[in-house]
Structure 1
Amino acid sequence: MGISRRQFFKAFSGMVASLSVLTVTAERLFAKWNAGAFHAGKLDDAVREKYGALPVEDSAAIKLTVPEIAEDGAFVPVSISSDMPGITNITIYSETNVFPLVASFDVLPRMRPDLSLRVRMAETGKITAIAQAGGRLYRSSRLVVVSVGGCG
């Protein structure tokens, strides 16, 4: 007993409709991808590609927690939190990686960000978090000594 022609076309049209929805959704998700920032080879270039010419100031209000020594550069735990009002974006950089921009998170302005992730580090270097709030940029950096590199 086989499938009828009507059942085949009904199933096929449902599958095509599902795929078209997935394609449109994926296109919208990747619309904000900033390839220039993620592919920049230097920290300063990545920051400029991401935020333009806005000046960056150091801030104790951005709490960046990283280990002083990482046994394995493939899994360096990083936590970022802040009570600063109006943060709309937090971006994480690893200055010694081939591509320094590691991750970027858009945050709703009334949220208090509390982020945790694992970063891959090629070698010993600074992890930097830059938060955007009220049209200004705030930075916190910490040095991480890597025993065994994790990027190749």
Structure 2
Amino acid sequence: MNPTRRSVLKSTSALGLLVACGVLTTRQALAAGGREAFSAKSLADALAAVGGTPADSKEITIISPDIAENGAVVPVGVNSTVPGTSEIYILVEKNPNPLAAIFKIPEDTHANVQGRLKLGQSTNIVAVVKTADGKLYSATKETKVTLGGCGG
């Protein structure tokens, strides 16, 4: 593990610990950025909140299953080789709130993030990458869900 990745893991772990202990509320954690984007009800509104319409890029790879048996816990990863990647947003098109995650990428760090998302139904997963100069790029991948994760 390189020192930059280690510092990212330490800071996100510390933030999670502060929220878990009640020292920092989830509202304060959300205030760090993206509150209006997380409350957006449509994909278009979420994209507008994160900075506008992105250009398609072949330098972004979304890793998710083609068919997810259980929509409650779908492993999703994003790898970006876009130069100067500073943020990665993961959006789920048909979820009630499309923005699922925001990742801040420190300078000179390999932009590769992973997580588990809840998908209510078969949908497109959209990864948006923001560069240090504010340009947006995206990639899309469809994931089919056989058992919905939002009560279905």
TM exceeding 0.5: yes
**Structure 2 contact 47–53 (Cα < 8 Å) conserved:** no
Q: Percent identity?
A: 32
Map of 1:39 onto structure 2: 39
1:1-152 mapped onto 2 (5 Å cutoff): 23=23, 29-51=29-51, 54-133=52-131, 134-152=133-151
Q: Which range moved further: 99-108 or 54-63?
A: 54-63
Superposed CA deviations along residues 28-79 of structure 1, whole A, max 9, x for unmatched, are 644324221101110010111122xx43111010111111100000011111
May I ask how many residue pairs the two structures share in their alignment? 128
**How far apart are the structure 1 equivalents of 2:83 and 2:65?**
27
**Aligned Cα RMSD in Å?**
1.7
- Radius of gyration: which is bigger? 1
Deviations 1:107-149 (A, max 9, x none): 1132111111111000001001000013210101100010000
CA distance in 1, matches of 2:54, 2:137: 6
- The 2-side partners of 1:81 and 1:121 are apart by 20
Q: State how far apart, in whole Å, the 2-side matches of 1:45 and 1:57 are.
A: 16
Shift of 1:80: 0.8
Which 5+ residue runs of structure 2 have no aligned equivalent? Answer: 1-21
Unaligned runs of 5+ in 1: 1-21
Distance 1:100 1:30 in 2: 16
